Structure 1
Amino acid sequence: MRWNHPLRGPISPGAFIPLAEESGLITQLGAWALHEACREAASWPGDLRVAVNVSAVQFRKTGLEQSVMRALAASGLPAGRLELEITESVLMQDSDAVIGSLHRLRAMGVRIALDDFGTGYSSLSYLCRFPFDKIKIDRAFIRDIDEPVAAAVVRAVVGLGERLGMAITAEGVETEEQLVQVRRKGCTEVQGFLLGRPLPAAEAMTLVAGRVAA
């Protein structure tokens, strides 16, 4: 998501999402993003999924599950094509309540991904408490993947995902060398500016159609 400000131009989510969380607007913004993402994805080829980030504030407020159900019903998107991404900060709020909500979302068929994996203190413990569908390796490890420690972490997470039956995505892939490296480590899914930058919905649809046709 990007905010195209009339005076400041494109503003990254890192600049305005914290303000939306502080003001409470994140609930409405998150619901809008969820509905728009589902609506757009419903017109994509059937084997493609859409991922939507969910804020810790959205979990603290009631109604997230209902918002997901409404978005799926309104768009006609199958639940299995929606993936919700959460960070460790979400689980730290009230882990029992959040994990209960995640289980209910999972029961609907929605996929759940653990985003920015490796940046928190308790990432591994949460893998024991909830069977995530996907682990997304934080971009910090991909940025430094030519360093032995970062490379070892990536290999370890890939191995962990294989054993737990979880897909692995490398975040922040921006160069061909990084792409080669993450593939060598066993990552089968990647995300980053090398593959595509943020686009308006219409341009994203054109990009998707072109890649599927190729």
Structure 2
Amino acid sequence: LELTEGVAVDDPRSAIATMDQLFARGVRMSMDDFGTGYSSLSQLKRFQIYKLKIDQSFVRDLGVDSNDRAIVSAIIRMAQALGIRTTAEGVETAEQLEYLREQGCDEAQGYYFSRPQSAEHITPLLLQRRLAIGG
């Protein structure tokens, strides 16, 4: 289940209670667009978050902006220290993907891999990729 920062930050106590209940039932949550809102790190440590999704606004200029590289690296390191997985959004180039791999980002999504697909086209695409990697 994906949440935006704003949902969790607007009413942290209620959000924490709800997340704890969902976590107890086996639901894992991702925080989408992390770093773009007004997140509180003191609240983040109490949320039952499985994954932080690094917003594409930080990924877009990884090749040319040292500030974006520093922010992405810091998010990944913080998540690792908290035992939280990371997914980078908006990956469009091999250079971006390589940097994210070097930093230890767990997953990436974006046009580099595929444009959005309709339901009828996604199954053949996934089967083709599975065969290509030997699965």
Alpha-carbon distance, 1:149 to partner: 1.1
Of 108, 129, 132 in structure 2, the residue corresponding to residue 211 of structure 1 is 129
TM-score for the superposition, normalised by structure 1? 0.57
Closer/same/farther in 2, CA of residues 114 and 123 from structure 1, 3 Å limit: farther
Match of 1:168 among 67, 86, 101: 86
User: Deviation digits for residues 90-149 of structure 1, max 9, x if unmatched?
Assistant: 113322222211211111111100110110122423312213100111111101213111
TM-score under structure 2 length normalisation:
0.88
> Paired residue for 1:141?
58
In structure 2, the partner of 1:129 is 46
Quote the residue 1:114 is aligned against. Answer: 31
Q: Is the 8 A contact 2:52 2:87 kept in 1?
A: yes
Q: Is the Cα contact below 8 Å between 2:9 and 2:39 reproduced in 1?
A: no
Secondary structure at the counterpart of residue 113 of structure 2:
coil
* Secondary structure of the structure 2 residue equivalent to 1:135: strand
Q: Which has the larger radius of gyration?
A: 1
Equivalent position of 1:185 in the other structure = 103
The answer to whether the 8 A contact 2:16-2:48 is kept is no
Seen in structure 2, the aligned counterparts of structure 1 residues 126 and 211 have a Cα distance that, compared at 3 Å, is: farther
Cα distance in structure 2, aligned partners of 1:123 and 1:203: 40
Unaligned runs of 5+ in 1: 1-83
- 1:143, 1:172 within 8 Å by CA — same for their partners in 2? yes
- Amino acid of the structure 2 residue aligned with 1:185: Q
Count of matched residue positions in the alignment of Structure 1 and Structure 2:
131
2:13 is matched with 96
What SS does the aligned partner of 1:116 have?
A: strand
Q: Show CA shifts across 1:56-88 (max 9, x none).
A: xxxxxxxxxxxxxxxxxxxxxxxxxxxx11111
In the alignment, the residues of structure 2 paired with residue 152 and residue 202 of structure 1 have an alpha-carbon distance, to the nearest angstrom, of 39
Structure 2 gaps of 5+ residues are none
Paired with 1:175 and 1:142, the residues of 2 have a C-alpha distance of 10
Contact 1:117-1:123 within 8 A present in 2 as well: no
Amino acid of the structure 2 residue aligned with 1:142:
V
Whole-angstrom distance in 1 between the partners of 2:129 and 2:74: 31
> RMSD over aligned Cα, in angstroms?
1.4
Would you say the 8 A contact 1:88–1:120 is kept in 2? yes
Post-superposition, which runs of at least 4 consecutive aligned residues in structure 1 deviate over 3 A?
A: none
Q: Aligned to 2:2, what secondary structure does the other structure show?
A: strand
Q: Which has the higher helix share?
A: 1
Q: Measure how far apart 1:196 and its partner are.
A: 1.5
